[in-house]
Amino acid sequence: MSQTSTVLTSKGFERSTHMKSGFWLVAIGAALWGADPLFRIILLKSFTSAQIVLMEHVLLFIALAPILWKHREELKAVRLRQVFAILFVSWGGSALASVIFTMALSNGDLNAVLLLQKLQPLVAIILARIILKEMLPRNFGILIVIALLGTYLLTFGWSLPFGHARNFIQVGSLLALGAAVLWGGSTVMGSYLLRSMKYETVTSLRFMVALPMLIVLTSVEHAPWNMPAGTWAGAAVIINLLLQALLPGLLSLLLYYKGLSTTKASYATMAELSFPMVGVVINWIAFQQIVTMAQLTGFMLIWITLFMISRQQKN
């Protein structure tokens, strides 16, 4: 074997290793999101959805401000398309998606809210085709129909829409779908930004740019800040908020964007399926939320769809 071919083989192996490690970093980061309801549901007893997300972003911005200052030179090269991507990731994927996901947790079945996040890869794959020019899987139209059937079962169970209007439209499920669409789009936009920025910069901008929108949302709702009375109760809320911000927030996104920097958006979105799976396990252990047969069937239909897409991409 020539020296040139040896070098090329070595580079190919190194690139493959980086892609594999990146995939698992995305999976670990997304798995940490599954612990989110464990903290967020407790905070909902004292604060509104917008208040929780605002406090979380303030803490994360304080933690990441020095990193953003260190990489400030990258901001000079930002163009209009990147500004749009930053706004989508921060306003849509970080601020608005977090708020409506938090609202979904208090307005619907916890497992349905989490399992509906499995639609996120379909959104990401479509947008990756449009924006990043990644190829769509074969038979994508049929696969979407199967995934939508699975989504229906996750949301409404075995009931038919006729004569069950109240069951057909559930606020929690609709909010969860909205969050899945926004997070799916954020995966693609984040992947686009990582072509010209470091993952630390993208993570920092995600939280910083979201702050003005969150301040407006919190101000508009005119809700009081109900900090629990008593030293122990107040301390418990503060500790819970810190854990929420640092684990499902800061650590998860640093791992996520580090992995996304070496992983295609269409592959990374498959790794994000660790999020609803871990969340369902936590709901079962902490909140005694049992998965119904209809939800399990819907879960499997979407899983089969994504598995078929994954096999095509792998080949």
pLDDT tens, residue by residue, 221-276: 888 888 777 677 778 788 888 888 888 878 888 888 888 888 777 677 767 777 77
What pLDDT shows up at residue 266?
67
C-alpha distance from residue 208 to each of 59, 98, 167 (Å): 10, 15, 39
Residues present in the chain in total: 315
Number of domains in the chain: 1
Range of the domain at 60: 26-314
In a domain, 307, yes or no: yes
Q: Which residues of 287-305 are buried (b: 16+ CB within 10 A; e: fewer)?
A: eebebbebbebbbebbeeb
How is residue 312 written in tokens? Answer: 């095509």
In a domain, 176, yes or no: yes
In a domain, 72, yes or no: yes
Q: Which residues of 188-222 are buried (b: 16+ CB within 10 A; e: fewer)?
A: bbbbbbbeebbbbbbbbbbbbbbbebbeebbeeee
Give the integer Cα–Cα distance in Å for 233 and 215. Answer: 25
C-alpha distance from residue 158 to each of 45, 293, 296 (Å): 32, 9, 12
In a domain, 10, yes or no: no
In a domain, 14, yes or no: no
Interval 7-38: pLDDT, tens: 434 444 444 555 557 778 888 888 887 787 77
More confident residue, 308 or 63: 63
In a domain, 7, yes or no: no
In a domain, 6, yes or no: no
Q: Is the full-model pTM beyond 0.75? A: no
In a domain, 257, yes or no: yes
Give the integer Cα–Cα distance in Å for 139 and 125. Answer: 13
What pLDDT shows up at residue 160?
61
In the chain, % of residues over pLDDT 70:
79
Give the integer Cα–Cα distance in Å for 121 and 101. Answer: 17
Interval 160-216: pLDDT, tens: 654 444 544 577 778 888 888 898 899 889 889 988 898 889 988 988 999 999 999
